[in-house]
Structure formats: C-alpha cells, structure tokens
Amino acid sequence: MNKKINRSIIKNARGFSLIEILIALALLAMAGTFVGGRIYQSYQEGLVNSARIQMNNLADRLKEFRRSCHYYPGTEQGLEALVTKPSGGRECKRYVPGGYIEGGQVPNDPWDSPFEYESDGKSFNIWSLGADGMEGGDEADADIYLKGKK
C-alpha cells in the first residue's frame, strides 16, 4: 500500500520548467534595478543636502569671525582663517583663541574635496564642486552654491 501512495506522489509531482525559472529571475532583476536606482538617487540627494548644511554651518562660523574681527577672511586667507589666526593682510585683534571651528579643522564636502571660498572682506561665497570635483556639471555633478548661483 505504501509503495502505491509513494509512486502516485512521485508521478504527480511537477517541478518548474527552465522557462518559468528564467521569467522569475528576469522579473526579480527588473525589480532590483528599479529599487537600486531609487536608493542611489536618494543617496545622491542626501549628499547634496549634507553639503548645503555644512556650507550653512561654515557661513555661521564666518559671521562669528566677522563679529570679532569686523571683516570676513579674504580669499587668500580662506576658510583656514576659521581655525588659525590669519597672518599677513588685515589683522584680527579679537580673534577667538582656538578658532571658530571645534576640532581645529575645516571640514571637506561630502565628496571629500575642500569647499571653495572667495571673499572681498565685505561678503563671501562658499560652494562645492559636487561629485565630479570640477566646475559645472549636471545632476549629482552640479556645483552647489550656498545661496543661488555664483
């Protein structure tokens, strides 16, 4: 009796054909591509937002520098003036000991490149060159400016 039941189960058992398996794999690959693309896009948006936040923080530190020194550091002094007292050019007599950035180092942008900075002492511009590290670019490679365009 057991042999009859076992044989009937084996006779009626049916596996997946190669075509069915390939179709299932193709559907999984298409779904994975869509999900992967969305994750990458969200990651890039996060890096851009992070760059904007860092530039706003640097702008706040520059404003503190200006309150103490009555001018913004010049282009030649750069953002390094926020961590070490500038020498040469205009002198700051009320420079805060230890600088204006905790940790004593100007942060890089999210792509590990230094932020670009220019100033005439009365105003300043801060920007990041984006993912490609070169001027211009589209989408993730686009330059990111603190306020509008340069």
Q: Which CATH number do you get for residue 50?
A: 3.30.700.10
What residues make up the domain containing 85?
A: 17-145
Q: What are phi and psi of 33, to 5 degrees?
A: -65, -45
pLDDT in tens, the chain (150 residues): 555 555 555 555 567 788 888 998 999 998 888 888 888 888 989 999 999 999 999 999 999 999 999 999 999 999 999 999 888 777 888 999 889 998 889 999 999 999 999 999 899 999 999 988 888 888 778 899 987 444
Q: Does 61 reside within a domain? A: yes
The model's pTM is 0.74
| Residue 1 domain flag | no
Tally of domains in the chain: 1
Specify which residues 119 forms β-bridges with.
124
Stated length of the chain: 150
Residue 141 lies in a domain: yes
C-alpha closest to that of 111 among 127, 136, 129: 129
Name 122's bridge partners: none
Does residue 125 form part of some domain? yes
The reported pLDDT for the residue numbered 150 is 45
Asked if residue 120 is part of any domain, the answer here is: yes
Residue 12 lies in a domain: no
